[in-house]
Structure 1
Amino acid sequence: MLTSEEFVGGWRLLGRELRPRRKAIVSLMAWSAVESLPSLFFAIATACALDDGFLQGRPLIGFGWLTALALFMIIRAAATRQTFPHLAAVVEPFRDSLTKLLVDRTLRRAAMCGRVPESSGVAQLTTQIESARQLLSALLRSTRPTLFSIVAAVIGLAALSPTILLVVLPPLVGSLVIFAFGLRSLSRRWTSAVVAEEHVADLANSALGGLRDIVALGAERRAATDVGGAINEHARLERGAEWAGSIRVLVVTLGCHVPLVGLLVAAQTSMGESWSAGELTGAVTCLMITVLPALQATVSVLGDWGIQLGSVLNRLALTCNSPISRPTPSARKPIGSDLRVRDLSFAYSSTATPVVSGLSLDLLSGSHLAVVGPSGVGKSTLARIIGGLEAGQGVVTIGGVTPQSLPRDLVRNFVTIIPQESYVFSGTLLENLLYLNPHATPPQIQDAVKAFSLEHLVERTGGLGGIVGIGGTELSDSDRQSLSLARAYLSPAPIVILDEATSHLSPSAEARAENMFSQRPGTLIVIAHRLSSARRAKLILLLDEKENFCGTHEELLRSSQLYRDLTQHWHGTAQKSPREATAVANS
C-alpha cells in the first residue's frame, strides 16, 4: 500500500520535470482560456436569444445571439489549433528529461552499489516512460479543455443568475470532492498493477535466460505456469482497477443530473419565480450540452489515464528519487580466500519471490564446488553475489571481507566469473588472453594455450598477434569459450566461477578444462549444466526452492531424494523422468 509520501512522489516528479517548461505551459493555459469562451457565453447567449429575441417576436436578435455564439465556436477551433505546438513543447522534452534521469540514476546505482541493473529497469525504460509520455499528452489534450469548459460554464451561470448558481454549484463541487478522494484508492490499485507488470518482466527474463535448461529438462510446463501465473495476476489487478473506476458513474450523476433535477424542481418554487424562460432554458441546455460532456470526459480521463499516469510516475519516482549511497570501501583487505555465506537471500524487487533464500555455505581455499539446481533457482545470481555484482540480504565474505565493500579493481583480483556468453573483444589473441593478467609470462601463456586446446586457433589466426574481430564473430562458440577459459586460467584471482562457461565444449573438453582449473591454486565453483561436472567436484551444492543441500556426491545420494532421482536419470535407470525443472542436466 502506498504511503502518503509515495502517493505524491510521482506528481512531485512530474512538477519538477515540467518546471523548466513554464513558458510553454503558460502559453498553453492562455490558449485554453480562449478555447473555453463558448462555454462561458453559452448560457447567456441562449437566454438572451430567447428572452430578447424569439420570445419577443424579434427573430433577428435571436439569430444574432446565436451567430455570436457560432463565432466563439470558430475562435475556439482556431485556439485549439494554436495549442498543439505548445503541447509538444511540454510533452516531448518531459519524455527526454525523464529518460535521461532514469538512465542516470539506474546506472549510477548499479555502478556505486555493485549491482547490475534490474530487469524491471527495462520495463521502466521501454514501457513506463513511454506510457508516461502518452498519458501526459492525452491528459493535456483531453482534460485541459474540459476543465476549462466546466469553470467557464460555472462563471457563465453565475453571470446569468446567482440563484441558478446556488442550485448547480453545491452538487457539482461535491461530486468533484468525492472523485478527488476516490483517486487515492484507484491509484493504489493501478500501482499494484504496475508492480505486477514489473514482476512479469522479472520472471520472463529469468525464464528466457534459462531457456536451454528448461527445454533440456522438459520443464516448459512449469516455466509457462510461473510466467502465466504472473501474467494472470497482472490481468486480475488491472480488472480490479477497472471495477474500482465505477465511482465515475456516481460522480457524473451527482455533478450533473442532480443539478438538472434541482433546477426543474426549483423552477416550481419561489426561487424559480425570478427566472425567465430564457434563463432556465439557458441553464438547462448549458448543463446538458456543456457541463455534462465536460464532466464525463474529465472524470473518465482522470479516472483512467490520470490514475495510470500517477501510478507510473510513482514507480518511476521510487527509482529517480531514492538516494544513492556508495558502500564504504573496507579498510581491511581479504586475508586468504576462504568463502563464507550466511543466511543469504536475494530477490529482484521487493515484491518478487526470492530466487535465493536462507543459503549458508563455507568454502575453504582450494575447494572445488559444483552448483546444480532448477533453472531460475538462483545459481547465476549466487555467482554474481559472490563476485560483488549483486548485493543480497545476508552475509558473504571473502577472506573475512564482503565483496561489496572492496574497490572494484580489488574484487577482480579475488574473483573471476566466466559466464556462458563468452566475452571476446576486438584485438589480438594475446591481448584477449592477458586481459585479466597483463603480467603473465610467456611460459604461462603457452601452458594456457595448450591446456585449453587453442593451438589450432593460434595457427589459424597467424599466431598470438593474430587479430580477433569485434565480438569474435568469426570464431566458433567453442573457440570463444576456450579463449575465455584460458583468460580466466591466467587470472591471479584465487576464486574462479564458471557459470555454465563450458556449455559449448564437448564432454571431454569440458572435463579437461575443469581438471585444469581444479589443479590451479585457489577455489573453483562450477555452475553445472552436466551432472558429470558435479561428479568431478569435491562438494556439490544442490539449490532447490524448498531447501538447499551441500555435501559430497555420496552424502547427497543418502540425504536427498531429488539428487537420487537426478543421478538415476543421468545413468538412464529411472523409471520415469525426474520432476520438471529439477536440475540443469544435458544428457
Structure 2
Amino acid sequence: MSARRAPGRDGESSPAVRDRAVRFLRTRWRVLVRLGVWSVLEAGQTFLAGYALARAMDAGFLAGNTRVGLLWLGAAGLAVGAGAFGTGRVYGVVAALVEPVRDRLVSAVVGRGVREADSGTLSGLTQQVEIARDTLAGLVLVSRSFLFTAAGALIGLFSLAPLLLAVVLPALVAGVGLFAATLRPLARRQEAFLAADEALAEDLGAVCQGLRDVTAAGAEARVAAGTGERIDAERWAARALARWSVARVAALAVGGELPVVLLLATAPWLLGHGVTPGALVGALAYVTQSLLPALQNLVHGLGTSGSRLTVVLRRLLPAAESGAPRPDVRPDPPGTPSPTRAHDEPDAAPERHDSPGLHTRLTPPAAPALTLASVTFAYGPASEPVLDGLDLVVPVGGHLAVVGPSGIGKSTLTGLVAGLLEPREGVIRVCGDSVPSPQAAASRVLIPQEAYVHSGTVAENLGLLRRDPVPEAELLAAAEAVGMTPLLRALGGPGGRVDPTALSAGERQLIALARAYLSPAPLALLDEATCHLDPEAEARAERAFAARPGGTLVVVAHRVSSARRAARVLVMDGPRTACGSHDELLRTSPLYRDLAGGRPARPAAPVR
C-alpha cells in the first residue's frame, strides 16, 4: 500500500510557495544587499586562503625568502579574522530576513485558528512555525556560504592558473547539477514519508485509546491489519527516501572529492604546463578547505532541511488566506433542550450609534447569539465537573457579565464557547451554529487576558482578523471607540511600527481590543481582557463592545463594576450558579452579595 499524499490541510503547491518567497524577497532587497556586503568578507577570506598559501611557497619559502612567505601567511591570517567579523554580522542580517517570515506565519496560523477552529493551531505555533524559522535561517546561511565560498575559490583558482580552474570546475558543476536534479524527487519522498508517519501516528492514537473496545468487539485482527498497512506504507516511504539519499552522496563525491583526485592525477601535466608547485598546493587547499566543506553543508542542509521547509510551509500557508465565510444561520433543530437554569431572557436590543466606516459586521442572526444546553465539562475522567448541566441563552445584542471566585470555571466557559475545549455532554451554539465548526468560529472573537501583538505596523495588527485591509477611517473610529487613540498617536498612526517588547500589558490589551472590535464576528468574548486597564478605560472599552453594531458581549469580569454595567450577570458558584440582573442577584445570591461588597449598590445605567 502506498503512502497517501498529504500536501497539507490547506496545502499549497510548490510554485505557490516559490511565488510567495519571490514577492517577499523583493520587499526585503535592502536586507539582501546588506547580506551580500558582509558575505564579501567571507569570499575574500576564501580567496586569500589559497592564493596567499601559493604565493608564500612560490615567492617565499621555495625561493629562499622566509620573510615574504611569513608575510603572505600573515595576510591569510588577517583575512580569516576579517571573514569571522563578516560572518558575525551576517547572523544579524539573517535575523532581519527571517523574523518577519516568522511573524507572517504566526499571523496566518492564528488567523486560521480563529476563523476555522483549526485543531492544528497549537502544533503550528509551538512546533511548525519554529521549525520553519530555524530551517529557513539555516538554509539562508548555507546557501549564502556556498555561493560566496565557491566564488572566492573559483576566482582564486583562475588567478593562480586558468588550467587549475579547467580541471576543478567541470567536476564541481557536475556534482552541483546532480544534487540539484535530486532536490524535487527528494522533496516528494520526504513529503510522502511525513504523510505516512502522520497517518500511522493518527491510527495508533485512535487504536491505543480504544484497545478495550477493540478486544470487547473481537476486532483485533481487523484493527491489526489496518495498522499493519500504515506501518508498511511508512516503511516503503522510508526506503524510497533512503534510495534517493544515495544520490546526495554521489553528488558530494563528484563535486567535492573528484576534483582532489583530478588535481593529483594531472599534477605532472599541470607542472609541465607552467603551473607552479605553490599554485598546485593552493588549488588543493581551495578544494579541500573551502569547496568540499561548503558543498557538504549545501548537500546536507539544503537536501534535508529544504524539503522539510517546503512541507512545513505548505501546512502553514493556506492556499487562500481569506477571511472565514459568512456563517449560515440555521435555527435550532427540533428536540434541542430548552434552557431551564441560568437563562438570560432576551432584552430589548439597545439603540446602536454606528461609528463611521463600521458597517462590515455580519448580519445579526435570527438564532440567539449564544446557547448552552446541558453543558457538562471536566478536566479529566475522574475530576469533578467544572460545569455541570449548564443552560444559558444570550440573545443577539445582549450584554452578559460572568463573575465568580478564581478557579470556578469562568475562563473554562469562554474556552468552551470559543471551541478551544470540548464539553463532555451538552450542546453549544454560536449564532445557531454548533461549536466547534468553521461557521461558529467565524461568528465569535475571543480576547484573552494575555493579548497577542506582533511586530509590524499598527494597521497590520488591528486588521489581523479582517479579510481585506481595513480603511483608515474605520481604524481610527475603532481606536476612538475602545480608547486607543492616545496610543495610536504615540505609535505614529496606522502606519507606525509596533515593537511588542516596548509595549506595556495595558497597551497590548488596547491593541487586541481594537483588533477584536474591527472583527466581523458578532459575538465578542472578553476573558479578563481589560484587567491591565484602569477602571475608566475598562468601562469605555466594555461600553464600546456592548454598543458595537450587531454585536453581543460576554465579559468575564474581574471588577464588580463590569457586572453593574451588564444587562445580565452569570454568577458561577458550582451547583448554586445563578443568572439575573444586578439587583436580582443581590437579593438571591449570597456569593454575589459578597463580591459586590455585601450591600446593594445602584447599578450603572445600561448601555443604550
Q: For the superposition of Structure 1 and Structure 2, which TM-score range results when normalised by the shorter chain?
A: 0.5 to 0.7
SS in 2 for 1:274: coil
| Alpha carbons of structure 1 residues 243 and 496: separation in structure 2 relative to 1, 3 Å | closer
How big is the shift at 1:34? Answer: 0.7
| Alpha carbons of structure 1 residues 248 and 419: separation in structure 2 relative to 1, 3 Å | farther
How big is the shift at 1:47? Answer: 1.8
Q: For residue 159 of structure 1, what is the aligned residue in structure 2?
A: 159
Map 1:402-481 → 2, pairs under 5 A: 409-410=365-366, 421=377, 433-435=391-393, 472-473=408-409
How big is the shift at 1:207? Answer: 6.8
**Is 1:283 aligned with 2:239?**
no
Q: In structure 2, what is the Cα distance between the partners aligned to 1:314 and 1:466?
A: 40
Asked if 1 retains the 8 angstrom alpha-carbon contact of 2:368 and 2:430, the reply is no
Greater CA radius of gyration, 1 or 2?
1
Asked if 2 retains the 8 angstrom alpha-carbon contact of 1:11 and 1:314, the reply is no
Asked if 1 retains the 8 angstrom alpha-carbon contact of 2:375 and 2:428, the reply is no
How big is the shift at 1:188? Answer: 0.7
Q: In structure 1, what is the Cα distance between the partners aligned to 2:219 and 2:126?
A: 27
Letter in 1 for 2:300: S
Asked if 2 retains the 8 angstrom alpha-carbon contact of 1:193 and 1:234, the reply is yes
Q: In structure 1, what is the Cα distance between the partners aligned to 2:212 and 2:366?
A: 33
**Is 1:84 aligned with 2:83?**
no
The percentage of aligned residue pairs carrying the same residue is 29
Instruction: String of CA shifts for 1:313-335, please: whole Å, max 9, x gaps.
Output: 23333x254666737969xx88x
How big is the shift at 1:152? Answer: 1.1
Asked if 1 retains the 8 angstrom alpha-carbon contact of 2:429 and 2:435, the reply is no
How big is the shift at 1:170? Answer: 1.6
Q: For residue 260 of structure 2, what is the aligned residue in structure 1?
A: 260
SS in 1 for 2:273: helix
Instruction: String of CA shifts for 1:511-546, please: whole Å, max 9, x gaps.
Output: xxxxxxxxxxxxxxxxxxxxxxxxxxxxxxxxxxxx
Q: In structure 1, what is the Cα distance between the partners aligned to 2:219 and 2:290?
A: 56
Asked if 2 retains the 8 angstrom alpha-carbon contact of 1:123 and 1:201, the reply is no
| Alpha carbons of structure 1 residues 492 and 193: separation in structure 2 relative to 1, 3 Å | closer
Question: Equivalent of 1:70, from 61, 70, 77?
Answer: 77
How big is the shift at 1:243? Answer: 4.2
Asked if 2 retains the 8 angstrom alpha-carbon contact of 1:168 and 1:263, the reply is yes
Return 151-160 or 132-141, whichever deviates more.
132-141
Asked if 1 retains the 8 angstrom alpha-carbon contact of 2:146 and 2:294, the reply is yes
Q: In structure 1, what is the Cα distance between the partners aligned to 2:149 and 2:204?
A: 46
Q: In structure 2, what is the Cα distance between the partners aligned to 1:9 and 1:325?
A: 21
SS in 1 for 2:96: helix
Q: In structure 1, what is the Cα distance between the partners aligned to 2:433 and 2:34?
A: 65
Instruction: String of CA shifts for 1:368-425, please: whole Å, max 9, x gaps.
Output: 9xxxxxxxxxxxxxxxxxxxxxxxxxxxxxxxxxxxxx989347699987666389xx
Asked if 2 retains the 8 angstrom alpha-carbon contact of 1:18 and 1:94, the reply is no
| Alpha carbons of structure 1 residues 133 and 413: separation in structure 2 relative to 1, 3 Å | closer
Q: In structure 2, what is the Cα distance between the partners aligned to 1:231 and 1:244?
A: 20
| Alpha carbons of structure 1 residues 411 and 206: separation in structure 2 relative to 1, 3 Å | farther
SS in 2 for 1:435: strand
How big is the shift at 1:259? Answer: 2.4
Asked if 2 retains the 8 angstrom alpha-carbon contact of 1:51 and 1:276, the reply is yes
Map 1:21-40 → 2, pairs under 5 A: 21-40=28-47
| Alpha carbons of structure 1 residues 279 and 225: separation in structure 2 relative to 1, 3 Å | same
How big is the shift at 1:265? Answer: 3.6
Map 1:16-415 → 2, pairs under 5 A: 16-17=23-24, 19-108=26-115, 110=116, 116-117=117-118, 119-199=119-199, 203=203, 237-238=237-238, 240-269=240-269, 272-317=272-317, 319=318, 321=320, 326=325, 409-410=365-366
SS in 2 for 1:179: helix
Letter in 2 for 1:33: V
Asked if 2 retains the 8 angstrom alpha-carbon contact of 1:10 and 1:314, the reply is yes
Asked if 1 retains the 8 angstrom alpha-carbon contact of 2:12 and 2:319, the reply is no
Q: In structure 2, what is the Cα distance between the partners aligned to 1:191 and 1:488?
A: 38
How big is the shift at 1:234? Answer: 5.1
Q: Which has the higher helix share?
A: 1
SS in 1 for 2:98: helix
Unaligned regions of 5+ residues in structure 1, if any? 111-115, 338-364, 369-405, 424-428, 440-464, 498-587
Asked if 1 retains the 8 angstrom alpha-carbon contact of 2:374 and 2:426, the reply is no
Q: In structure 2, what is the Cα distance between the partners aligned to 1:154 and 1:287?
A: 10
Q: For residue 594 of structure 2, what is the aligned residue in structure 1?
A: none
Q: For residue 456 of structure 1, what is the aligned residue in structure 2?
A: none
RMSD: 5.0
SS in 1 for 2:13: helix
Count of equivalent residues: 383
| Alpha carbons of structure 1 residues 419 and 226: separation in structure 2 relative to 1, 3 Å | farther
Instruction: String of CA shifts for 1:278-329, please: whole Å, max 9, x gaps.
Output: 2222112221222112111211111122221122223333x25466673796
Unaligned regions of 5+ residues in structure 2, if any? 338-361, 380-386, 417-422, 437-608
Asked if 1 retains the 8 angstrom alpha-carbon contact of 2:373 and 2:426, the reply is no
Q: For residue 6 of structure 1, what is the aligned residue in structure 2?
A: 13
Q: TM-score, normalised by structure 2?
A: 0.52
Q: In structure 1, what is the Cα distance between the partners aligned to 2:78 and 2:160?
A: 20
SS in 2 for 1:409: coil
| Alpha carbons of structure 1 residues 200 and 23: separation in structure 2 relative to 1, 3 Å | farther
Q: In structure 2, what is the Cα distance between the partners aligned to 1:490 and 1:102?
A: 24
Letter in 1 for 2:114: L
Q: TM-score, normalised by structure 1?
A: 0.53
Asked if 2 retains the 8 angstrom alpha-carbon contact of 1:199 and 1:230, the reply is yes
SS in 1 for 2:48: helix
How big is the shift at 1:142? Answer: 3.9
How big is the shift at 1:254? Answer: 1.2
Map 1:462-541 → 2, pairs under 5 A: 472-473=408-409
| Alpha carbons of structure 1 residues 260 and 327: separation in structure 2 relative to 1, 3 Å | same
Asked if 2 retains the 8 angstrom alpha-carbon contact of 1:17 and 1:97, the reply is no
Q: In structure 1, what is the Cα distance between the partners aligned to 2:429 and 2:309?
A: 52
Asked if 1 retains the 8 angstrom alpha-carbon contact of 2:377 and 2:424, the reply is no
